[in-house]
Structure 1
Amino acid sequence: MPNKLMMVFVGTDIIFAGCGGLLIGFSLLSETQMRATPTITTVAEHLLLKQCPLTAGVVNAIFIFLTFMLSLPALFLPQNRGWLRAQGWLVVFCATFTLVLGLTVWFVTLHSRANLNRIWAHEQPLTQSLLQQKFNCCGYNNSTSPPFIQDGTCTNSLVAAQKGGCISKFSSFANGYLDLIFTAAFGIVGIDVVLVLCVAMVLKYRQELERYKHIDEKNGLGGL
């Protein structure tokens, strides 16, 4: 019957694999969303996801799945420690990979206003209009700088001047959305750290079992 340590190890290992599924699911769904025609509901997320390393997220998820597969021989070979060591090093690699992805997204939030200004300037009038409708604003800094796009939200110059620019609402939304992404990435790193500790404890446990086995063999108790 498995002991509590092995049960915790198996549970953490399964959660680790689930994090890989979450990572690849988010990355693939986001790439699909980016290829779709933007709407008022999705236009802001569409633009922000372009700032995220989605392809690297898929690669990271693949490494996570490979690491999980590598842990299976360690479970079915209770006397073996080589597979566990290999898994431990790969988990460290995956944690570092995920940490870099999270830091990349976090770094984007530090320059959100400058990045969003550049994004706004390079987008088509239709996209700018969708953003104006989503955030109920006109223009980026204000209605004249750059000039607002006339649509159902910004019907004329007087209405546009009263509504104000999109910079505050857009940047506030961007920071909140990107905060969720890099916080989730750091949470996955936390799971990785717990799994590394579990691997280390299982290695220590198996090493102790082997040591006691050798002691018993020297004392002539190997058959007990």
Structure 2
Amino acid sequence: MPTKLMMIFVGMDFVFAGCGGLLLGFSLMSEQRLRDSPTVNNVAENLLLGKCPLTAGVVNAIFIFVTFLLSLPALFLPMNRGWLRAQGWLVVICATFTLGLGLSVWIETLQTRSDLGSLWAKEAPLMQSLLQQKFNCCGYFNSTSPPFVMDSTCLSSLVAAQKGGCIAPFSTFANTYLDQIFTAAFGIVGVDMLVLLCVAMVLQYRQEQERYRHIDEKLGLGGM
């Protein structure tokens, strides 16, 4: 009958694999979204996702799945410690990888306003117009710097001057959206640490069992 420790270990191992699925699903769906035609509903998200390391997220998810598969022999070999050690090192690699992805997104939030200004300047008038419609604003800093794009939201210079620039609502949206992404990444790192703790405890448990078995053999109790 499996011990409570092994049941917890198995549960955390599957949660670990689930995090890999979450990371893979988010990265693939985000890459698919980037190929969609821009609309008012997706324009801001797509611009931000284009700055995220989505391909690296797919690679990270693959590492997580490989680590999970390599952990299975440790479940079916109750006295083996080699597979557990290998899993532990791979979990450390996965956690470091995920932490790097989360930090890269977090760093983006520290320079949101300057980065979004450069991003806005590079976009075509159509994209700027969609952003104006989404955030109900005109121009980036204000209606004249840079000049706003005339559309259904900014019908004239007078209307544009009254609405104000997009810098505040766009920056707020970007920070909130990116906060969710890097918080999720750091959450996955937390799961990795719990899995690593479980691996360490199972290793310790199996080492003790092996020591007791050797003691019993020396005392001639190996068959009992």
Separation (CA, whole Å) in 2 of partners of 1:152 and 1:139: 14
| Post-superposition CA distance 1:71-97 (Å, at most 9, x none) | 000000011100000000000000000
Q: Quick one: distance in 1 between partners of 2:51 and 2:108? A: 7
Corresponding residue for residue 94 of structure 2: 94
| Structure 2 equivalent of residue 187 of structure 1 | 187
Amino acid of the residue matched to residue 83 of structure 2? W
1:97-108 aligned within 5 A: 97-108=97-108
What residue ranges of structure 1 are gaps of 5+ in the alignment?
none
Per-residue Cα deviation, 1:51-105 (whole angstroms, up to 9, x for no partner): 1000000000000000000000000001110000000000000000000000000
Aligned counterpart, 1:149: 149
Q: Find the counterpart in structure 1 of residue 109 from structure 2.
A: 109
> Following the alignment from structure 2 to structure 1, what is the Cα–Cα distance between the partners of residues 130 and 162?
18
- Give the corresponding residue for 1:221: 221
1:223 is paired with a residue whose SS is coil
- What value does the CA root-mean-square deviation take over the aligned residues? 0.4
Residue pairs, 1:50-129, within 5 angstroms: 50-129=50-129
- Please report the TM-score for the alignment, with normalisation by the length of structure 1: 1.00
- 1:161 aligned partner: 161
CA distance in 2, matches of 1:167, 1:220: 79
- AA aligned opposite 2:28: L
2:209 is matched with which residue? Answer: 209
Q: What is the number of residues matched between the two proteins? A: 224
For residue 168 of structure 1, report the CA deviation from its aligned partner.
0.3
Shift of 1:204: 0.3
Structure 2 gaps of 5+ residues are none
4+ runs of 1 displaced by more than 3 Å? none
Partner residue, 2:16: 16
Cα distance in 1, alignment partners of residues 109 and 218 from structure 2: 63
CA distance in 2, matches of 1:10, 1:178: 32
Matches of 1:42 and 1:18, distance apart in 2:
27
What CA distance in whole angstroms lies between the structure 2 residues aligned with 1:79 and 1:173?
A: 52
Residue 29 of structure 1: aligned partner: 29
Using structure 2 for the length normalisation, give the TM-score: 1.00
Deviation of 1:112 after TM superposition, in Å, equals 0.4
Whole-Å Cα distance in 2 between the matches of residues 5 and 109 of structure 1? 40
